[in-house]
Amino acid sequence: MKTNVYVLCGGKSVEHEISLKSASAILNALDKDKYNVYPVFITKEGTWCSLGLLKKEIEDIKELEVDSSDTVANSIGEFLTKDFKEGEKNIIFPALHGTNGEDGTIQGLLELINVPYVGNEVLSSSAGMDKVVMKDLFTRYNIPQTKYTSVKLHTWKENEEKAYKDVEKELDYPFYVKPANSGSSVGISIAKNRQELKKAFKEAFLYDTKIVIEEEVIGREMQISVVGNDYPKASIPGEFILEKPFFDYNAKYIDGKLIPVVPARLEPEVNKKVRETAIQVFKALNCYGLARVDIFVTDDNEILVNELNTMPGFTPVSFTPVLWKATDGTTYAELVERLIELAFERYEQKNSILSTRCVE
């Protein structure tokens, strides 16, 4: 009997469209002789819409979009009772980026219904999504990073002037202001003075109730893919040629101004250290399955970790599949297959653990 693979896509997130691009590639790559493939579209309001058994390739992401007036709770119930084939061999591939998908919420639901799923679990997903928690963990494990601080919305509203002064005491301009829980550079601004800082705070607080402020790092940003469970492996690093200091959402996904360089231009010892650091970050956040680690390398070869992404972009031209192809020849389809294997491996490992007290 074939394994049923349910690919979740879309979602209530600012990265909704990126998810559709990742999902369409995953859906097309899955071996239909081995798997029954079921796309599950999640609207921007959070409603789940099963599209049924996939019988042809997805040529346009719009094919995955469905209108629905159903409630979120009812739609999830409908999926679990009518579309999800309980009793068969199932796995869920949450091709979701950002909040309400990459932050541990979907993962918690999947844990409750005890179904195997690809990628990181509740703890690593939530810690990886919250940049403040993530950076605090980096500090705990002595992982090198730039100086940072954080501010909550209620603190800023109570006394804006004090919030700005506190940041200026901790850090030196210029620095980046980011929503703690967001991705794809949404809501991020650079501040070079107080006036820009005020504007950056307002922008970031549109997307979260907590923000992180980081000192600017002058250096090149490396991206490394890490794949595995208990014994993760790191890909070779890749980097982008920068046409400007900071790439926002449009530059990353619309304008096409990013020029990838694979492998990254690094000296052998620095290359080795970057890969080792990526694995250290993966383990520190208790990751399973996959992650992408972004690391700055300065002109004097100092290594500073920027962040970890627990469900990175997964289009055919995204760095995760591109890096593995360059590392060991792994194709996109083989990488998807490997992630499914890792998910079943981790599921069996967790289900071997007792959930009740052993009484003799």
Pairwise CA distance, residues 347 & 360, whole Å: 27
Assess if residue 31 is contained within a domain: yes
Assess if residue 154 is contained within a domain: yes
For 82-114, write each residue's pLDDT tens digit.
Answer: 999 999 999 999 999 988 999 999 999 999 999
Q: Is the CB of residue 12 less than 8 Å from the CB of residue 76?
A: no
- 302 and 318 in a common domain: yes
Assess if residue 201 is contained within a domain: yes
The pLDDT value given to residue 358: 65
Domain hosting residue 170, numbered range: 147-215
| Residue ranges in the chain modelled with pLDDT below 70 | 183-185, 242-257, 358-360
Strand-strand pairing, 148-152 and 210-215: antiparallel
CATH number at residue 100: 3.40.50.20
For 284-318, write each residue's pLDDT tens digit.
Answer: 999 999 999 999 999 999 999 999 999 999 999 99
Assess if residue 141 is contained within a domain: no
CATH number at residue 194: 3.30.1490.20
Number of structural domains found in the chain: 3
**Exposure string (b/e) for 144-172, b if CB count within 10 Å is 16 or more?**
ebbebbbbbeeebeeeeeebbeebeeebe
- 285 and 175 in a common domain: no
The pLDDT value given to residue 152: 98
- 178 and 241 in a common domain: no
Q: Tokens 């493939």: give the residue.
A: 37
The pLDDT value given to residue 80: 96
Q: Is the CB of residue 175 less than 8 Å from the CB of residue 194?
A: no
- From the number of C-beta atoms within 10 Å of its C-beta (0-12, 13-18, 19+), residue 275 rates as buried
- 282 and 261 in a common domain: yes
3-class DSSP assignment, residue 229: coil
Cα atoms in the 13 Å half-sphere on the side-chain side of 212: 22
- 315 and 250 in a common domain: yes
Assess if residue 86 is contained within a domain: yes
Q: Please tell me the chain's helix, strand, coil percentages from 3-state DSSP, rounded to the nearest 5.
A: 40, 20, 40
- 257 and 203 in a common domain: no
Rg (CA), the chain: 21
For 256-267, write each residue's pLDDT tens digit.
Answer: 567 889 999 999
CATH number at residue 308: 3.30.470.20
- 314 and 230 in a common domain: yes
- 240 and 342 in a common domain: yes
Q: Is the CB of residue 27 less than 8 Å from the CB of residue 37?
A: yes
The pLDDT value given to residue 357: 74
Of 160, 192, 215, which marks where a domain is finished?
215
- 262 and 162 in a common domain: no
Pairwise CA distance, residues 276 & 284, whole Å: 12
The pLDDT value given to residue 353: 85
The pLDDT value given to residue 253: 46
- 290 and 207 in a common domain: no
Residues in a beta bridge with 130 = 181
Of 190, 215, 240, which marks where a domain is finished?
215
113 CB neighbour count, 10 Å cutoff? 13
- 234 and 192 in a common domain: no
Pairwise CA distance, residues 235 & 354, whole Å: 35
- 235 and 302 in a common domain: yes
Amino acid at site 19: S
- Can you give the pTM of this predicted structure? 0.91
The pLDDT value given to residue 315: 94
Assess if residue 239 is contained within a domain: yes
* Residue 132, C-beta contacts closer than 8 angstroms, at least 6 positions apart: 150, 180, 210, 212
Assess if residue 130 is contained within a domain: no
